[in-house]
Chains A and B, each alone.
Chain A
Amino acid sequence: MEPLTWTGSLSGLNFIFYIVLLLLVLTIVAQLLFSLVPSGGARAVGADGTLADDQGVSGLINLVISWLFYAIIALVLIYLVGGIILGTGAGIFGGMARQMLPVWIALIITFAVSITYKRKLGLYGKLFDSTVGMIGFGIVMFWVFTGVMGGVFDMLITHDSLSQASGMKNKLPGTPLRGAEEGEYAWYLLGGDNLARDVFSRLIKGSWVVVLIAPLATLFAFMVGITLGLPAGYYSGRLDTILSFLANLILAFPVILLFYLLVTPEIVLTGIPNYMAAVLFVFPVIFFAVLLNSRYYTQPHIRTPLLVVVLGGLLWAYLSLITNDGFIVKNDDVTVYGIPAMIDWIPMPPEILVVFVSVVFVNSPTVFRIVRGLALDIKTRDYVAAAQTRGEGPWYIMLWEILPNARGPLIVDFCLRIGYTTILLGTLGFFGLGLESESPDWGSTINAGRRLLSLYPHAAIAPALSLLSLVLGLNLLADGLREESLRD
């Protein structure tokens, strides 16, 4: 079989695509240059008192840009739809487009439903009023669907992410699989890596690692940061001094040194990550206990059953999370028993646990500082004084008066921080820390691919671009959310 080209039978469009792209870039540059030179014509007054003209030459350029932009989108759509119809007939892009078909369908459904009901969906619905936010959300959801479908249900992948095929070592994208059997996918769409594994399938498998760990770790970091930051900001005084000192202490560590100290097999042996997990993961339980208790403690008939159910579930989850094979810590010196393996429903391999813990540990001081700052600001507001006069307890004020009013900046920071956590996970993989070397996650793949970078760049470039797009998507999403929440 012939190796696939990038666009296959749609190659005729490539020339048009390049031309349109070139024109778009040129007109954007021209537009930027023209925006520096004022010209005659009708002028609009900006919010800050500046004048901007929207007709004349720059108006024409704007028109051209928008048409070229639509043309680019149309061409990309043709490539996509053509790829879905023709499959590998439309080259590597076609093959990938068809392989990703379930993701496209899920994306279209998500967007259609969200846009239809956007007025009823609060801040999430407002996101669909901002183009930047929509683009960011689209990219993020693309990777979320890819991660879930490929990582959990094994749907999108073409080959097993660990199996090696003979003669496929470092092969270029689109190389046909040597001796492909019936029912086996006949190409390595994005080529083979230095161990002759399929880069495309590993990319999709790796997205699941990122999509699973990054948001969860960020969520835990937020729980820790909020539970400690609110009292630090609200009470101030000595508590604040001590907690801030500890936070600054962790922040003064270079992140990579901390990773090298925490995420090594030797440290895993001592059980330190398990103790840290036991401390850090208890914060969500405390958070929800205090949250519900402070709200309902005046109505014991609601409070007691509610707390029993919620805390029971959370404690079970907490114990399952930190227990592994019936033990919380097990080494030569110490053995701490956990819950029996039977009811341990969250499998947490030690190498994932240590990565998870260290990422939460690195992120929580920053969240603490943000929450503390917000609490310091908000506690001077009138509604807090009103609640104090009503005789509400301090935790009620912190969790039900201050926290909801700090949600805007916190949601934005949450999105940004997921991106940052993704970068941290990649850093860990890049230094070969934590996850096993055969793990398909993007950081480890980049690390494996960088040794042959100048000869066979495809094995490292594919995960690098994926990571870039996911973090960019999260940043754009955060930008869109910021814009929309400011408009409230």
Chain B
Amino acid sequence: MGIFILRRLGVMLLTALCLTFIVFWLTNLYPNLEKLAKNQGNFRMSDEAVTSYLGDRGYLQPMPVKFGQWLGVLPGWVTEREEGKTFGRCFDSDTPVDERPNRCGVLQGDWGTSTVFKDEVGSTVATRLALTGKLMLCVLLLMVPSALIVGVLAGMREGSKLDRSLSTFSIATTATPEYVSGVIFIAVLASSQFGISPILAEWGWIDGKTLFLGSATSAMADANFWNFFLPVLTISLYGMGYIARMTRASMTEVMTAQYIRTARLKGVKFSDIVLKHALRNALIAPFTVIMLQIPWLLNGVVIVETLFNYKGFGWLLVQAASNNDIELLLAVSVVSVVVVLVTQLISDIGYVFLNPRIRIS
């Protein structure tokens, strides 16, 4: 088991390195750098001005060198201006000479500076990640129990009407991407002119103008049911159908097992069979699916945070990518890749622990 985890960690590290290098390469292509220079300087820069701007800031070094500097295995670039000012990757011109570090990169714990937010990448990502963590926690709290309930109810009597209705429901949710369900929810539940909010307001059933708030910006500081439910529901719904279908498949398989038949022939109550005999074995497969679903939720998070204007990690990704903020984008991709790989690892290990029939040699 220890060797297995070590090997997986090695592969993880290799994957993360390859991926960050790809991101690094794509963001450091010349047209992207030119756009960055014009965004940071001004839009009417001449070609020479762009070149000197980029050259001064170390952007025109060979790709592997730049990547090494970002990682912190190579010394950072240093530019000496004619007027005697010296600045570099790791220090600016005000830093005293003896305090100037040689290397600064991810290995030294320095994630660089964001060109959009004019702030340290590390702290920016941390604040946004905390906000998204809140969103994800709510999503998981809503999605996992409801998906499991739907799946177990559908799977306990295969082919029954209940199964058919719930399966149709889960197919419908998997067919509704977040930008569709989000748009529909806002129009129906959070518009002061359309949908059910005006009717409810007229009847006096709700205090405000709308049943829910169509923007989650206020939920960043203070989340409540009114401003936070729609984004959470939108993400949960898309992920739910898949988990529910997997749970249903696993449940139907367990329900046809010999030991369930034995229990039934012994005259055990149906509810006891489902809750005490079948449920534990039926929940092994969904566990893996839930863990693997978390990276998928990340996509939903990006869409929903854009749609509901919730400034979390997904919103940060969009900002970083659309402004070619290289170091921020790298940090964002490192975080998302780590999320993907760690959930994969947990799902593998968890599967072994949950299912005694599988042993890794």
Contacts and interface: CB of A to CB of B under 8 A. Distances in A.
Interface of A: 28, 31-32, 35-36, 46-50, 52, 62, 245, 248-249, 251-257, 260-262, 264, 266-267, 269-270, 272, 419, 423, 426-427, 430-431, 443, 446, 449-450, 453-455, 457, 460-461, 464-465, 467-468, 471-472, 474-476, 479
Contacts of B192: 454
Contact of B179 (A260, A430, A479): A430
Given A36-B162, A267-B29, 16 more contacts: A28-B165, A32-B161, A32-B162, A32-B165, A46-B159, A52-B160, A245-B15, A254-B317, A254-B340, A266-B34, A454-B187, A454-B193, A457-B183, A457-B187, A464-B184, A467-B177
Nearest to B16: A252
Interface stretch (B50-58, B129-137, B168-176): B168-176
22 contacts: A35-B162, A46-B157, A46-B160, A48-B157, A48-B256, A245-B14, A252-B15, A252-B337, A253-B336, A254-B299, A254-B333, A254-B340, A261-B23, A264-B32, A430-B179, A446-B179, A449-B183, A453-B191, A453-B214, A457-B187, A475-B175, A479-B171
Contacts of B179: 426-427, 430, 443, 446, 450, 464
A472 B172 contact: yes
B196 interface: no
Contacts of A272: 26, 29
Contact of A472 (B171, B298, B332): B171
B239 interface: no
Interface in B143-194: 157-162, 165, 171-172, 174-177, 179-180, 183-184, 186-187, 190-194
Contact of A253 (B19, B184, B318): B19
A62 B161 CA distance: 10
Nearest to A467: B180
A54 to B, nearest CB: 11
B288 interface: no
B7 interface: no
B322 interface: yes
A59 to B, nearest CB: 12
B255 interface: yes
B261 interface: yes
A455 B193 contact: yes
A35 B160 contact: yes
Contacts of A461: 183-184, 187
Contacts of A426: 177, 179-180
Interface stretch (B200-208, B300-308, B350-358): B300-308
Most chain B CB atoms below 10 A, which of A31, A252, A267, A476: A252
Given A35-B162, A457-B187, A476-B171, A471 B177 contact: yes
Nearest to A447: B179
A249 B23 CA distance: 12
B29 A49 contact: no
A105 B23 CA distance: 51
Contact of A47 (B159, B174, B183, B321): B159
Contacts of B29: 266-267, 270, 272
B317 A257 contact: yes
Contacts of B302: 254, 256
A267 B302 CA distance: 22
- Chain A's interface: helix, strand, loop or mixed, by majority? helix
B227 interface: no
Contacts of B35: 266
Contacts of B177: 423, 426-427, 467, 471
B243 interface: no
B317 A267 contact: no
A471 B175 contact: yes
A255 to B, nearest CB: 6
Given A35-B161, A455-B191, A467-B177, A261 B299 contact: no
B341 interface: yes
A431 B318 contact: yes
B194 A464 contact: no
Nearest to A132: B168
B175 A468 contact: yes
B174 A453 contact: no
Most chain B CB atoms below 10 A, which of A264, A474, A476: A264
B13 interface: no
Contact of B333 (A62, A257, A443, A460): A257
A460 B18 contact: no
Nearest to B27: A261
Interface string B286-319: 0000000001001100110011000000000110
A252 B19 contact: yes
Given A49-B264, A270-B31, A257 B321 contact: yes
A252 B340 contact: yes
A419 B23 CA distance: 28
A48 B158 CA distance: 8
Given A261-B23, A270-B30, A49 B183 contact: no
Nearest to B333: A257
Contacts of B252: 48
B300 to A, nearest CB: 10
Nearest to B170: A475
Contacts of A450: 179, 183, 307
B160 A254 contact: no
A65 to B, nearest CB: 9
Nearest to A34: B161
Most chain B CB atoms below 10 A, which of A32, A427, A454, A464: A454
A267 B26 contact: yes
A261 B26 contact: yes
A457 B317 contact: no
Nearest to A432: B322
A474 B171 CA distance: 10
Contact of A453 (B31, B162, B187, B298): B187
B318 A49 contact: no
A309 to B, nearest CB: 40
B299 A457 contact: no
A351 to B, nearest CB: 16
Contact of A260 (B15, B34, B160, B321): B321
A454 B184 CA distance: 10
A215 to B, nearest CB: 17
